[in-house]
Structure 1
Amino acid sequence: MSFLDHLEELRWHLIRATMSILIVATAAFIAKDFIFDVILFGPKKVDFFTYRLFCELSQSLGQGNSLCIDEMPFRIQSRTMSGQFSAHLWTSITAGFIIAFPYILFEFWRFISPGLKKKERKNARGFIFIASLLFFTGVLFGYYIVTPLSINFLGNYTVSNEVFNDFDLSSYISLLRASVLSSGLIFELPILIYFLTKIGIVTPQFLKSNRKFAIVLVLILSAVITPPDIASQIIVTIPILILYEVSIFISKVVYKRQQKELQNV
């Protein structure tokens, strides 16, 4: 195929991926009550799963109700004419992207797989499943851990009793969207390291020797996507560090396999 033929092929893959997002986004747009009242505003309610879990944890550790939440002292409002409609529209598109993520990967795989060798296609057979599993795990982590910690901290933070927290709808949704999507993408780290090792950009030795720098970057990243309290940062840092160690293991496996293939040539 010529370069223009490749571009034409890529265009149709992008069109199909975009259509899948729009189809799911339309369904999410129709299911407005469930998307907003149950999912989006779930972390705002004191009986949210994560808050109940922390409360039960503090009681089981003999700390009483130290981690229990009795109220969320803030309100959510819309201060622009198109605020609620815009929030509805962009939330639907975000939901479309998240739910259609496996199909988007499938279209990406269909585009690149013809350029791979038969053995490479065989070795990457579980790519879509593993990448989707990691992404959805990250999304759930962002929704059930990062988002509640952020909302609880920022919602209860005050500089004076004279100031009442009235958060704009777009601000609330932006916080939730950033927490969920950033966590989902961060959990794709092992997949990224796999491909970077395959093309020779990183090696296991490089990842090991730069572990201390990676830890610093992880701490900075955790500070960015979580509220500025130590407990929240530790909760977010631990799984990211585990992902980094898993990435080192994956890089080691890929690197050894490549070295063995070179020896057999």
Structure 2
Amino acid sequence: MRSESKPADPAQEESFISHLVELRDRLVKSLIVVLVLFGVCFYFSGDIMKLLSQPLYQSLPAGQKPIFTDQAGAFFTLTKVAFLAALLLSLPWVLYQAWAFVAPGLYEHEKKFALPLIVSSVFFLVVGISFAYFFVLPAAYKFFYAFAADTGADVMQDLQKYWDFTLAIFFGFGLTFEVPVVEMLLVKLGMVTTQQLREARRYVVVGAFVVAAVLTPPDVLSQFMLAVPLCLLYELGIVLAGFISVRSRAPEAPTEAGADTASGGSPGGSA
């Protein structure tokens, strides 16, 4: 005899559909803002590109300008610049939409941790890209042009290749500067302890140079300038994770005391 399947709960089905509708609305709102900002950034893409290309211009010999090696190079480069700027500018709005979608399903203590986690993620991303722009790119190009000067040859810098190099640097530094956030999250979830993070230092140093070799272009200077901050960020993550670990344990003492009182009976209770 064939068993009949249990009919689906209409309330659960309706709740699932409403969540999908809300997710769609949040994605549409995020996409609209990204597209609007892309249009604005594309209009000003020339100015944005000049601003973000300053590390290159400051490294070029006097009177020399960068070039494009093909007709479509300028269009694709400006489009890439506008898209990158639109993503960065829309990031707070996109994260807010993600937060508004998941927040109703979180407990109060999860909300208290999630919001600082999002803010710190954006902060470290911006710090990583800023560090790459103000320190890594100027140093890298001065390093390259110093070698070119020794040969007596002129370097004709293609702007399209410059942006491929720059985006790789931005991506590598923006991603690796999230290390403290990852450490805090792992400790908060109970997956690792701060003591385990300390014991893993020697492996992290080796891993930092391996990660730097993968994420940055193949030059020693960029790899070194990523690996060293990565090790320092790991140490910062241990300190921040230690604060989270202490705060997470703080409420446990009253709870255990309350449990002991409950098991032993209240002083004023009946025998």
Q: TM-score, normalised by structure 1?
A: 0.76
Aligned residue pairs total 241
Question: What are the residue-to-residue correspondences of 1:227-242 with 2, within 5 Å?
Answer: 228-229=219-220, 234-242=224-232
- Displacement after TM superposition at 1:160 (Å): 8.9
> CA–CA distance in 1 between the matches of 2:90 and 2:32?
10
Q: 1:6 to 1:253 in 2, by over 3 A?
A: farther
Q: SS at the partner of 2:157?
A: strand
| Corresponding position: 1:6 with 2:9 | no
Counterparts of 1:84 and 1:17 in 2: how far apart (Å)?
Answer: 28
Q: Counterpart of 1:45? A: 57
**Distance of aligned partners of 1:128 and 1:173 in 2 relative to their CA distance in 1, 3 Å threshold:** same
Could you tell me which runs of 5 or more consecutive residues in structure 1 were left unpaired when the two chains were aligned: 47-68
> Which has more radius of gyration?
2
Q: In angstroms, what is the RMSD of aligned CA positions?
A: 3.1
Deviation at 1:234, TM superposition (A): 5.0
CA distance in 2, matches of 1:184, 1:43: 18
Q: Mapping of 1:138-149 within 5 angstroms?
A: 138-149=128-139
What are structure 2's unaligned runs of at least 5 residues?
Answer: 1-11, 257-271
> What is the match of residue 267 of structure 2?
none
CA offsets per residue over residues 122-176 of structure 1, 9 Å max, x none? 3444344333222211111011112222222334444994864333332110111
Query: Of the two structures, which has the highest relative contact order with CA contacts closer than 8 Å and spacing of 6 or more?
Result: 1
- Pair 238,161 (structure 1): closer, same or farther in 2 beyond 3 Å: closer
What's the counterpart of residue 35 of structure 1?
48
Q: In the aligned structure 2, how far is the partner of 1:100 from the partner of 1:155?
A: 35
Whether contact under 8 Å (2:183, 2:241) holds in the other structure is yes
Instruction: Name the SS of the counterpart of 1:76 in structure 2.
Output: coil
Is 133-142 or 151-160 further displaced after alignment? 151-160
Q: Report how far residue 87 of structure 1 moved.
A: 0.8
Shift of 1:93: 0.4
Q: Equivalents in 1 of 2:154, 2:40: separation in Å?
A: 36
- Within 5 A, what are the aligned runs for 1:1-265? 2-37=15-50, 39-46=51-58, 71=61, 76-158=66-148, 161=151, 164-224=154-214, 225=216, 228-229=219-220, 234-261=224-251, 264=255
Deviations 1:7-56 (CA, angstroms, capped at 9, x unpaired): 4333332332232222222222111332122x13211223xxxxxxxxxx
